[in-house]
Structure formats: structure tokens, C-alpha cells
Amino acid sequence: MISELEARALDRAPVVLDSVESSYARRPAIWRGISAEEWSSYAWQWANRLMSVEALDNAVGLNADERRAVEAMASRFGTAISPHFAALFRPELGSHCPIRRQAIPIGAELDIHDDLLDDPLGESRHAIAPCAVRRYPDRALIYATHECAMRCRHCTRRSRVGLMESVSQADLQNALDRVTANPNIRDVLISGGDPLSLENDVLEWLIASLKACPHIDVVRVCTRMVSTLPQRMSDARLIDVLRKYAPIYVNTQFNHPFEATHEAAQALAALRSAGCILGNQSVLLKGINDAPAILEPLFRWLLREGCRPYYLFLCDVAQGTHHFRTSIQSGLDIMRSLRGRLSGLAIPHFVIDLPDGNGKVDLCPDSVVSRDGQSLTFHNWFGASVNYRDVE
């Protein structure tokens, strides 16, 4: 017989996304005359990103605080939002919409905090070339572009992303030379910016150069476009490039169930068809996704679409992001709540990327209630106390 406590826990219904919407069906009035074919075009989406006060006002409207912040940030870390992502705003939630808050700056972003950094991951300190970073013995990151489909307001590289000058081919070649010359480097991340904003030929050159190196076992592409501009994955040439060099590990970023769209599901399917191995890296953001009832359906949806939740990051200590920061304890409470309700496949590592490039640290709820020599008492997933005797 199971206990009453366990029975109550087992009786709790999963929180799931039964259906997802199309961003085309949700598009704002300004784009009502756009055909489905245009909407599904990567080129159209990129060309029509919202990047000015006027464009934002016309499409989604701005309140006074947002308008002031957009203008103030224009020369530092400007706004860029794809029509697809703007269509996911929930007007009924106003400025509290979790999609809107990730995309449009507010006045709090202008505040300077002494404990926040312009380079929170210490990438300049760990640079081995102008566009390459090595923080671990067997890994390196190639920063391939300043461009992104959207400038997320919680961005950790906000001091570089969106810069007007391009990352030069000479700098990329220098990065490749340094990475491929070091036999200790076995795993390389192509990042940015967003590497899927690169021309297909440039992306293929990078991937092919890394795949040709005998000591590199793993090539990863880190992109948020699957959420912010999934139309990119409708490019058959891109999918052919990824298929040609399979397996490529593709790390996505979805932070909220509202990002789980029909277009995003199609993009994930296209990447799977190319033999990509998919993982998601969410960022824990205050007032956006810092609740288990928000993250549970997102993680269930991702796993259903063949993308394993990989990391849940505590928000990095990047200047301009103080209003997004949560306590470590809030994240631990979420992880404790998810354990047992989701299979291990759907539960990410909860990590903090320590400031100044000191690396990732796993954060786990403490399940040990007490210990007396070899005798331990644990709290299990549904809250019962269980005794366990350790070996000598």
C-alpha cells in the first residue's frame, strides 16, 4: 500500500502544453496584410525587425518608460525584435508580458550596479584570439558574429552584440588556427551573437574547418533563432550544411511557454531531420519564468519536440540585468518542485556561471535531512523522510 502522502503526489496532474499557436495567426495589425509566404521568409523577418522607437510604436506600442529606455540604449545595446517574436506579445498583459520583457528595454536597464560586470564571463581575460575564448581544458568558444535576430535584454554579451563592424574573416581564421593547433581542445562552440545569422557559406567554412581537425570530437552551434526567428530553419541550404557535417550539437534558448510556437516546432523538426542533437539552455528570469508552473510545461514541450532541457542558468551578472536576477534559493525551490514531476530527461542542470570566467557550478537542492555516521535521512521527491545506511 502506498502512503497517503505519496498518493496525493501521484494524483497531481502534469502541467502540459496541449497545443501551440502560430505567430502568423497572432501577428499585430500592422502586418495583417502580409501573406503566410512572406511571414515564413527568413529574409522578410530579418529585414522587418523592429529596431526604432517609431517601428516599435507602430507594431506593439511603447509606454513612456519603454520609450525612454529604447532611446537611451540605442547607442549602447539597441533594440531588435523579429516580427515573429513581437507577434508573441500578450497585449492583455501589458508591460508585464514575459515575452515583451525579454525584448523591450525598460528604465531599470539603465541602472548601474557595482556588483554587475560588462564582461561577466571573463571572456576577454580568457581570450586566445580576438574571436576565441578558452575557459576549460578541453573546450573553446568561437565568437563568430555580432549579429542576432533579437537583442535579448538579459544578454550576457551586450557589450559586443549589435556592434556595427563585422567580425572579420581574418579574425575568424585566427580563431580557427588557435583552436585547431591545440590538441587538448576536443569540443568547440560556435557562438556570438547568433551564428545562424551568418551566411551559409561562412557557417559551412567554420564547421568544415573544425570537423576536419582530427582532435575535435564535438562541434556545437549556440543559437536563439529557433525561438526568436525560427523561419531561419526553413532555409534548405542551411539544413543541408548541418546534415552534411552531422552530428552537430545545437543548443537553443527557450525561456517561456509562450515561445513554444508552431513555427518553432517546425524549426526543431528541421534540425532533427539534419541529424542535429538538440539541447536547450533556459535563463532563470525574475517575473518571467521563475516558477515551476511556467517551466514544467516548457520542458515537457521541448522534450516532446526532441530537444532536451540541458541547462537552467542563473542570470549572469551582466550590467543592465539587475531587474532580471533571482536568488539562488528560488532556483533550488523550482528544481525541488520539478524533481519527480518530470523524468530526468526533462530536468536541466541548474547552474551558475561564476563571474570573471571561473566556470559553471551545479546547484542542487540538498535532499539530506540528517546524518549520523553511516545513517542518513533523505527527503524524497514527494516529501517523505526515508532512512538509508551508507557503506563504510
Q: Which residues are marked as active site?
A: 135-136, 139, 148, 152, 155, 157, 316, 353, 360
Nearest-angstrom CA–CA distance, 392 and 389 = 9
Amino acid present at 81: I
- Torsion sign across C-alpha atoms 142, 144, 146, 150: negative
101: nearest Cα among 313, 352, 226, 286: 286
Residues 6+ apart with CB under 8 A from 18: none
Q: How far apart, in whole angstroms, are the C-alpha atoms of residue 22 and residue 315?
A: 29
What is the C-alpha to C-alpha distance for residues 301 and 299, in angstroms, rounded to an integer? Answer: 5
CA atoms in the 13 A half-sphere facing the CB of 23: 31
Alpha-carbon span 140 to 366, nearest angstrom = 32
